[in-house]
A and B are shown apart, each in its own frame.
Chain A
Amino acid sequence: MSKKIGDVILDVKNISLSFGGVKALTDISFNVREHEIRSIIGPNGAGKSSMLNCINGVYTPQQGSITFRGQTFGHMDSHQVATMGIGRTFQNLALFKGMSVLDNIMSGRNLKIKSNILLQALRWGPAEREEIMHREAVERIIDFLEIQAYRKTPVGQLPYGLQKRVDLGRALAMEPQVLLLDEPMAGMNVEEKQDMCRFVLDVNDEFGTTVVLIEHDMGVVMDISDRVVVLDYGKKIGDGTPDEVINNEDVIRAYLGTSH
């Protein structure tokens, strides 16, 4: 059961982010190693999603830097982040509801498609070959996520748990090196959570994808993570293996409160 965890792939240094007077993140530093599952946990409003948004360029932190594969950035550009191989899913699903599962996942291949729009519209020559190649990649993802039965179903008609899976599928379609998952198990029942855990582990295992996971369910986090960062009110209060974190007094205080 040993998996090869490599060198640091993503290094976040002294990130601070504020919206006007509200300090969302204060001096946060942590790193992510290749092939690991790294979780970010914390109570509501701790700044977990803000952290992900800094990494993939939705927010621009006022201070600090992010190093990805040796390149250091003061702020990340969303498009560039995607090209570099960082994919993500969203807490509040951002799928195309009227489009089929197949087309939604296909849209994740957008950056990989080389032929121009005219050739694609005519579906001529190289464009057709390319489409077949991408369709195959998408089909492998559909098979992987076991959603063959919903290939042609409009995403809006699917139950929430399946929509989450499609969201993951779209992120996988860009063949990311690092996958940012924002609460992939929120709002799911036990069975759906188990399925999702299995998919996250399988992605990490089969494709060697590095996973950065935000999650509320402590059982899930402690079960599948290699290392955990704990945030509270925008500050880092813990960092280490699940065992270390669970015994950290600051963490216990943040989650369970203290007597005054």
Chain B
Amino acid sequence: MQTTFPRLLQMHASERPHAPAMREKEYGIWQSLSWSDLSAMVQQLAAGLHQAGLRRGEHMVVVGANRPRLYATMLAVQSLGAIPVPLYQDAAAAECVFPINNAEVRFAFAEDQEQVDKLLEIREQCPQLERIYYDDPRGLRKYDEPCLASLDELQAGGKVFVELHPDFFASEVEKAKPGDVGAMFFTSGTTGNPKGVVHTHNSLLNRARVGADFDKLTGSEEVLAYLPPAWIGQNIFSYAQWLACGYVVNCPESAATVTIDMKEIGPTYYFAPPRIFEGLLTSVMIRMEDAGAIKRGMFHYFMDVAKRVGPALMDGKDVGLGDRLLYALGNLCVYGPLRNTLGMSRVRVAYTAGEAIGPDLFSFFRSIGINLKQLYGSTETAVFVCLQPDHEARADTVGVPCEGVEIKVADNGEILVKSPGLLKEYYKNPAATAEVLTEGGWYHTSDAGFIDSNGHLKIIDRVKDVGRIKGGANDGAMFAPKYVENKLKFFSHIKEVVAYGDGRDKVCVFINIDFDAVGNWAERRNLPYAGYTDLAQKPEVYQLIKECVEKVNADLSVDALLAGSQVSRFLVLHKELDADDGELTRTNKVRRGFIAERYNVLVDALYEGKSSQFIETQVKFEDGRTGKVSATLKIEDAKTFAPVKAAA
């Protein structure tokens, strides 16, 4: 049955008014908000916004971290038939100008002083921006800008209105149809301006329902919402599926307390991009290295057992009695406590998406008994396109098409999708819409991949990035930069990689070390270093990275398709690639073209065969100031292997 967001709220509020809808940790205590409280809050906010002049079809920006009132505001906006536009809370002020002007936004919700400052900074560029409502009044007492008002005032005004017009809310909610536009998400975009992805109530809620049915989610799930609400992944998991299932969304106290909060809440349904899992594994490994000999020995012994037995158990395969007993003992001594420390004791279903996940990383979590699976989707498809069923999770595929989805592979290898969850259009951008939505309702994902023999979808790279080696020993070989980058990134010492090779005679890469992991590695070897730049250029670190590169080369040499993509030369960058410098997107994907331009002297040095290169780079600090870092970077050659034809 098709429905809308506000109707689902009404349903939960009338069917189970006292059940908790959200929790937020404040002053050290988890404070619950019931469905009826939430519904009252949404009604008041909606009435307040109506009085302020928000009209059907208009857009309203919401920017901030996961807070009950942020989600309540989104619901209030939708109740009035207006469209919430969540923006990334860590975006720089200038990045907010385009979305606000593009969607002609007059009203904005800002979480706190930081977000208010940002919006005030760009007010001159966004003349139509009339009102900014803030949630947390801290530090804002002295602001006397007339466009500012607190959410409390808005809600209080709305309360009076609700008392005078008790039927207003219900009649407004009734007017909205499932096919109306429900929300708009701006995609970060690796080139050009961001695009507003327009979704209807139905496209989001249909996918939310399908995902929930696939994993049999109920109203008793617990979810921790800690990723940006502007990311469709978070929005689906803590908003669309929250309303579809009626489970509890928990908001952490602050970004720094997520691990503590996660342990307290014990979520049953968990979703995170691979880099979060990577961070968890790195922190576990670092702590184990520093642990006593007995604990360390026990950990390594039982992790070996887990590696051998865990995934098989998870996949429901037959396992011998001895191994079963050993695994049970390991569960008692290591896996159980470890899951508890990670806050994953109660996780029933965990998903990772957004990027490829390393096989070691993936199997680590599965081997200690966490049902980690992959899914495939994007902002344009309202997330759910492919999902891995419970006993068929694999690191190198992204699962089978879920209910309602049709998949087709185009001649150029591009994956085309047809699904009820597809975007309606890109806002005010018919040209871009026509590019991705073609005849017959097929959406062009711009991912290259194929369906394997088990019916699982496998992704190789972005279609436009797949290139060819030109000249040299591997002339004409296929080059998939992302594939190479991911293989390298699967090593815990490597944080980010940028690979070049299309139209060139060999593959060369920039590497970003993982400061925590390599720093800890250096400390254990009594290797002194002064900071990131210094550590990155240590000969010992180069040797460490070189070993990783050569392992990847050995691995690639047996790949029938990509043996020519082996890495010939590499360098370690002197600074971390950063979204503030425009080197990564807000979702932390490398912007290869931009980086090539910014560091073109380094690219040239790699291909000219130089052994070192001086570079000075401007960096932007979080407060908007700029500074310069300079360094002379070493460049090293890596051993490559003759392609081996895998035995048939």
A interface residues (Cβ-Cβ under 8 A, vs B): 1, 3, 135-136, 139-140, 142-144, 146, 148-149, 151, 191, 194, 198, 201-202, 205-206
List of 6 A-B pairs having minimum Cβ-Cβ separation, nearest first = A149-B256, A139-B27, A149-B257, A148-B253, A139-B28, A148-B257
Q: Contacts A1-B144, A139-B28 given: A148-B254 contact, CB under 8 Å?
A: yes
B interface residues (Cβ-Cβ under 8 A, vs A): 25-29, 138-139, 141-142, 144, 253-254, 256-257, 260, 622-623
Cβ–Cβ contact A205 & B254, under 8 A: no
Contact among A140, A149, A194, A206 with B254 in the assembled complex (CB-CB below 8 Å)? A149
Contact among A1, A140, A151 with B142 in the assembled complex (CB-CB below 8 Å)? A1
How distant is A73 from chain B, measured CB to nearest CB, in Å? 34
Contact partners of B254 in chain A: CB under 8 A: 146, 148-149
CA A135 to CA B29, docked complex, whole Å: 11
Q: Contacts A136-B27, A139-B27, A142-B28 given: A202-B139 contact, CB under 8 Å?
A: yes
Contact among A136, A142, A194 with B623 in the assembled complex (CB-CB below 8 Å)? A194
Contact partners of A148 in chain B: CB under 8 A: 25, 28, 253-254, 256-257
How distant is A112 from chain B, measured CB to nearest CB, in Å? 18
Interface of A, helix, strand, loop or mixed by DSSP: helix
Cβ–Cβ contact B26 & A198, under 8 A: no
Contact among A135, A143, A194, A205 with B141 in the assembled complex (CB-CB below 8 Å)? A205
Contact among B26, B29, B142, B622 with A3 in the assembled complex (CB-CB below 8 Å)? B142
Contact partners of A1 in chain B: CB under 8 A: 142, 144
Q: Contacts A194-B623, A206-B141 given: A149-B260 contact, CB under 8 Å?
A: yes
Q: Contacts A1-B144, A146-B254, A205-B141 given: A151-B623 contact, CB under 8 Å?
A: no
How distant is A145 from chain B, measured CB to nearest CB, in Å? 11
Contact partners of B256 in chain A: CB under 8 A: 146, 148-149
Cβ–Cβ contact A202 & B138, under 8 A: yes
CA A206 to CA B25, docked complex, whole Å: 22
Show 15 A/B contacts (Cβ-Cβ < 8 Å), sorted by A.
A1-B142, A139-B27, A144-B138, A148-B25, A148-B28, A148-B254, A148-B256, A149-B257, A149-B260, A151-B28, A191-B622, A201-B139, A202-B138, A202-B139, A206-B138
Cβ–Cβ contact B142 & A205, under 8 A: yes
CA A201 to CA B256, docked complex, whole Å: 23
CA A149 to CA B254, docked complex, whole Å: 8
CA A1 to CA B143, docked complex, whole Å: 7
CB-CB nearest in chain A for B144: A1
Q: Contacts A1-B144, A194-B623 given: A205-B139 contact, CB under 8 Å?
A: yes
Contact partners of B144 in chain A: CB under 8 A: 1
How distant is A7 from chain B, measured CB to nearest CB, in Å? 21
Contact partners of A143 in chain B: CB under 8 A: 26-27
CB-CB nearest in chain A for B255: A149
How distant is A165 from chain B, measured CB to nearest CB, in Å? 13
How distant is A75 from chain B, measured CB to nearest CB, in Å? 38
Contact partners of B25 in chain A: CB under 8 A: 148
Q: A1-B142, A194-B623, A206-B138 are in contact. List 7 more A-B contacts (CB 8 A).
A: A3-B142, A135-B28, A143-B26, A148-B253, A149-B253, A149-B256, A149-B260
Contact partners of A142 in chain B: CB under 8 A: 27-28
How distant is A128 from chain B, measured CB to nearest CB, in Å? 16
CA A142 to CA B260, docked complex, whole Å: 15
Cβ–Cβ contact B27 & A140, under 8 A: yes
How distant is A133 from chain B, measured CB to nearest CB, in Å? 12
Contact partners of B27 in chain A: CB under 8 A: 136, 139-140, 142-143
How distant is B120 from chain A, measured CB to nearest CB, in Å? 13
CA A205 to CA B253, docked complex, whole Å: 23
CA A195 to CA B402, docked complex, whole Å: 48
How distant is B258 from chain A, measured CB to nearest CB, in Å? 9
Contact partners of A149 in chain B: CB under 8 A: 253-254, 256-257, 260
How distant is B442 from chain A, measured CB to nearest CB, in Å? 47
How distant is A152 from chain B, measured CB to nearest CB, in Å? 8
CA A149 to CA B252, docked complex, whole Å: 11
Contact partners of B141 in chain A: CB under 8 A: 205-206
Contact partners of B257 in chain A: CB under 8 A: 148-149
CA A170 to CA B27, docked complex, whole Å: 16
CA A139 to CA B26, docked complex, whole Å: 9
Contact partners of A135 in chain B: CB under 8 A: 28
Contact partners of B623 in chain A: CB under 8 A: 191, 194
CA A202 to CA B141, docked complex, whole Å: 9
CB-CB nearest in chain A for B28: A139
How distant is B283 from chain A, measured CB to nearest CB, in Å? 14
CB-CB nearest in chain A for B257: A149
CA A148 to CA B255, docked complex, whole Å: 10
CA A143 to CA B254, docked complex, whole Å: 9
CA A26 to CA B142, docked complex, whole Å: 39
Contact partners of B622 in chain A: CB under 8 A: 191
CA A101 to CA B18, docked complex, whole Å: 36
CA A198 to CA B142, docked complex, whole Å: 13
Contact partners of A144 in chain B: CB under 8 A: 138
CB-CB nearest in chain A for B259: A149
CB-CB nearest in chain A for B141: A205
CA A216 to CA B622, docked complex, whole Å: 25
Contact partners of A206 in chain B: CB under 8 A: 138-139, 141
CA A201 to CA B260, docked complex, whole Å: 29
How distant is A202 from chain B, measured CB to nearest CB, in Å? 6
CA A210 to CA B345, docked complex, whole Å: 49
Contact partners of A201 in chain B: CB under 8 A: 139
CB-CB nearest in chain A for B256: A149
Contact partners of A139 in chain B: CB under 8 A: 27-29
How distant is B113 from chain A, measured CB to nearest CB, in Å? 9
How distant is A204 from chain B, measured CB to nearest CB, in Å? 10
How distant is B169 from chain A, measured CB to nearest CB, in Å? 32
CB-CB nearest in chain A for B29: A139
CA A77 to CA B442, docked complex, whole Å: 81
CA A201 to CA B141, docked complex, whole Å: 12
CB-CB nearest in chain A for B139: A202
Best-surrounded residue of B27, B29, B256 (most CB of chain A within 10 A): B27
CA A143 to CA B139, docked complex, whole Å: 13
CB-CB nearest in chain B for A147: B256
CA A139 to CA B29, docked complex, whole Å: 9
Contact partners of A202 in chain B: CB under 8 A: 138-139
Cβ–Cβ contact A198 & B139, under 8 A: yes
CA A136 to CA B254, docked complex, whole Å: 18
CA A148 to CA B25, docked complex, whole Å: 10
How distant is A120 from chain B, measured CB to nearest CB, in Å? 20
CA A248 to CA B342, docked complex, whole Å: 59
CA A52 to CA B254, docked complex, whole Å: 36
Contact partners of A3 in chain B: CB under 8 A: 142
CA A201 to CA B142, docked complex, whole Å: 11
How distant is A154 from chain B, measured CB to nearest CB, in Å? 15
CA A198 to CA B113, docked complex, whole Å: 11
